[in-house]
Structure 1
Amino acid sequence: MRPQDDEKSMPSVKSIKQRIKSVKNTRQITKAMEVVSATKMRKSQQFAIEGRPYALAAMEMLGNVLARTRYRPPLLRKREIKQAALVVVTSDKGLAGAFNSNVLRKAEKWILENKQNYPVDLVTVGRKSRDYFQNRKENVVKEFIGFGDFIEPNQTKPLSDFLTRGFLKKQWDLVEIIYTNFRSTLKQEVKMVQLFPVDLEKIKDTIVGITPEYGRFAVNSENPKSQNSPPRRIPGLRPSEANTFASDPNSKQIQNYLYEYKFEPSPKAILNSLIPHLLEMQIFHMILESNASEHSARMVAMKNASENAADIIQELTLQYNKSRQAGITRELTEITAGKEALEV
């Protein structure tokens, strides 16, 4: 290629300058979104951790009650699976990297593996999962939106009530949920958890797993303020029995309690009220974990976008300088050529 052709193929100085300005504006937006997402991520973590002691205390109470009565509520009873429901938790908004696609990919895989054995109804949380499955003509029986950013337990209560009613009315015999668990700023894990029949160990795992592995709220030796408090004294249990309860609330070793519990109005009424409440807390914490993961994924995505924009600006600036220099060289050549022509 001749130098003249190279100059003709090079964009004009004005167009390059406009592109630089456009990329700089985009970088300002991505930087602002990165800061906002980081703030929202920390607040979501804080909300989840603040509710952790209450949920653990409720779990402890439930273990005490179950250890002292033979009654088992309908929510704990397993039955033959004739119909299942899958709850898919995604975000309402995009620009969060692979956050939503990872959840949807796992949900689609689970549906393909199980819909040959029994029909599967879908309950979607977030616009992304709703739009995805509606476009694929899947059976979406209920949709919930508006769970992003900062939520209160009463906002997720309609979801838990809907699922509880469906299981008690035998609309579904199995209910699973897919959501994203927050482990650290750079690591989020897509998890599948069985909601119904209620598994107390899975509820406990969800509550205990609220604390992230790294960061401000992590439990480690370098952050003494975040250490777990020592095990609380469980009424009616000896210290050795309390340790057994922590690992297995239903163990027969904790049947020899020191004094008798009085249930008012009855163990049945207490369990039928306490277990749905624990389920509400579990779903609430899952939504908080998903929100924290969404904001973390968006923060990382916007950080990468800002860095890419900076690289593009650097390349365009170099191209701008080359184009400007080529224009100056061309003008000098024309002046020199004109001077030589006049002298001849």
Structure 2
Amino acid sequence: MPSLRSIRGRIKSVKNTRQITKAMEMVASAKMRKAQARVRDTRPYAEKIKELMIRLAAIESHRPNPFFQVRPVATVGIILVSTDRGLCGPINSNVFKMVNRFMAERPGVKFEFVVIGKKGQDFVRRSGLKAVGSISGVKDRGQIEEILPATQVAIEEFSEGRWDEAWIFYTEFVSTLSQKPRSEQLLPILPEMSESGAKKPSPFLGEYLYEPDTADILDVLIPRYFETLVFQRVMENFASEYSARMMAMRNATSNAKEVIYQMTLIYNKLRQAAITREISEIASGADAVQQG
């Protein structure tokens, strides 16, 4: 049976923990609202430039441009987006599980990683995987320039033929209560396909006129497409991180309250038992004196 002193110490410790988790919940809540607004602001542009590139893929697939050409897959590059800090629920582990399933489904394929976030770096290192680039410390209110070192490495690896495909793995923000791990192929850029696997005829064929010429335009547009999508997916990950952290800290605060309540009941019962025992001892001593 624990002593009253030890229970008081445990109650005090849990109360201190509750204060910390409550403060972390409030901080995550404030950051979450800003991150969600950033996601809403960046999604339309990212989806439009992706739509544009899918249309161009239907037009340009016959040209000798490596970014539109499908080739036998020997090496796959993965851009892994994770958080820098923990205490945000299972969002990192869910993405890592998806990566492991993705690799298990492709035996004989070599995988290389460009990692954004410290948790992803730890995962790649623990798993004995090869990282050709990594960055951390990206700010949730930062600019696209912060992720350029990662995107430039990925574009170079693909354009020089060392990667045959480039994928990104991240956590998509759905709502405050829902965040889903996602994978998305970024390179090569593929036209829209029908359910049977055939390339859909595009109603936009012949729509674009290039000035000064096709090569110059695509040299600028393809990196912009790639950087925009990676940056937007990083913003999705931030919104997911803060939402998950807020809920995790809210649950921790609620659990701390329940623990304090239960421990207070135990403390009061022990204290009442001690008081009753002392009264009984006093009464027994008084009876003994009277009888003596």
On whether the aligned pair clears a TM of 0.5, the verdict is yes
Pairing 1:42–2:15 present: no
Residue of 183, 188, 213 corresponding to 1:266: 213
Residue of 280, 284, 291 corresponding to 2:227: 280
**1:177 & 1:65 partners in 2: Cα distance?**
21
1:20-35 correspondence runs (5 A): 20-35=11-26
Q: Is the contact made by 1:62 and 1:271 (CA closer than 8 Å) also made in structure 2? A: no
**1:295 & 1:201 partners in 2: Cα distance?**
34
Pairing 1:253–2:200 present: no
Deviation at 1:340, TM superposition (A): 0.7
**What is the DSSP-based 3-state SS (H/G/I as helix, E as strand, rest coil) of the residue aligned with 2:71?**
coil
TM-score with structure 1 length normalisation?
A: 0.75
Pairing 1:164–2:168 present: no
- Per the alignment, residue 111 of structure 1 pairs with 103
Pairing 1:296–2:288 present: no
**1:166 & 1:50 partners in 2: Cα distance?**
30
Give the 4+ runs in structure 1 shifted more than 6 A: 63-70
Q: Is the contact made by 1:85 and 1:123 (CA closer than 8 Å) also made in structure 2? A: yes
**2:66 & 2:109 partners in 1: Cα distance?**
21
**What is the DSSP-based 3-state SS (H/G/I as helix, E as strand, rest coil) of the residue aligned with 2:218?**
helix
Q: Is the contact made by 1:91 and 1:148 (CA closer than 8 Å) also made in structure 2? A: no
AA in 2 matched with 1:30: T
**1:52 & 1:125 partners in 2: Cα distance?**
20
- Per the alignment, residue 196 of structure 2 pairs with none
- Per the alignment, residue 75 of structure 1 pairs with 67
Q: How many residues align?
A: 285
- Per the alignment, residue 154 of structure 1 pairs with 145
**What is the DSSP-based 3-state SS (H/G/I as helix, E as strand, rest coil) of the residue aligned with 1:150?**
coil
Q: Is the contact made by 2:54 and 2:189 (CA closer than 8 Å) also made in structure 1? A: no
Deviation at 1:149, TM superposition (A): 3.2
- Per the alignment, residue 87 of structure 1 pairs with 79
Deviation at 1:31, TM superposition (A): 1.0
AA in 1 matched with 2:104: L
**1:67 & 1:85 partners in 2: Cα distance?**
23
**1:164 & 1:298 partners in 2: Cα distance?**
32
**What is the DSSP-based 3-state SS (H/G/I as helix, E as strand, rest coil) of the residue aligned with 2:105?**
helix
Taking structure 1 as reference, are residues 90 and 72 closer, same or farther at Cα in structure 2, changes over 3 Å only?
A: same
Q: Is the contact made by 1:71 and 1:267 (CA closer than 8 Å) also made in structure 2? A: no
Pairing 1:181–2:131 present: no
- Per the alignment, residue 140 of structure 1 pairs with 131
Give per-residue Cα distances to partners, 1:173-213, cap 9 Å, x unaligned: 111121111111111111111111124669xxxxxxxxxxx
Q: Is the contact made by 2:134 and 2:150 (CA closer than 8 Å) also made in structure 1? A: no
**1:46 & 1:338 partners in 2: Cα distance?**
73
TM-score with structure 2 length normalisation?
A: 0.88
Taking structure 1 as reference, are residues 144 and 199 closer, same or farther at Cα in structure 2, changes over 3 Å only?
A: farther
**1:68 & 1:100 partners in 2: Cα distance?**
38
Give per-residue Cα distances to partners, 1:291-319, cap 9 Å, x unaligned: 11111111111111111101000001111
**What is the DSSP-based 3-state SS (H/G/I as helix, E as strand, rest coil) of the residue aligned with 2:67?**
helix
**What is the DSSP-based 3-state SS (H/G/I as helix, E as strand, rest coil) of the residue aligned with 1:183?**
strand
Q: Is the contact made by 2:28 and 2:245 (CA closer than 8 Å) also made in structure 1? A: yes
Which sections of structure 2, spanning at least 5 residues, go unmatched?
A: 194-199
Which sections of structure 1, spanning at least 5 residues, go unmatched?
A: 1-8, 203-249
AA in 1 matched with 2:247: V
- Per the alignment, residue 93 of structure 2 pairs with 101
Give per-residue Cα distances to partners, 1:7-54, cap 9 Å, x unaligned: xx2x22222112111111111111111111122122112112223444
**What is the DSSP-based 3-state SS (H/G/I as helix, E as strand, rest coil) of the residue aligned with 2:128?**
coil
**What is the DSSP-based 3-state SS (H/G/I as helix, E as strand, rest coil) of the residue aligned with 1:195?**
strand
**What is the DSSP-based 3-state SS (H/G/I as helix, E as strand, rest coil) of the residue aligned with 1:191?**
strand
Taking structure 1 as reference, are residues 328 and 60 closer, same or farther at Cα in structure 2, changes over 3 Å only?
A: closer
Give per-residue Cα distances to partners, 1:149-187, cap 9 Å, x unaligned: 333111112211111111001111111121111111111
Deviation at 1:72, TM superposition (A): 6.6
Percent identical across equivalent pairs?
38
**2:48 & 2:171 partners in 1: Cα distance?**
25
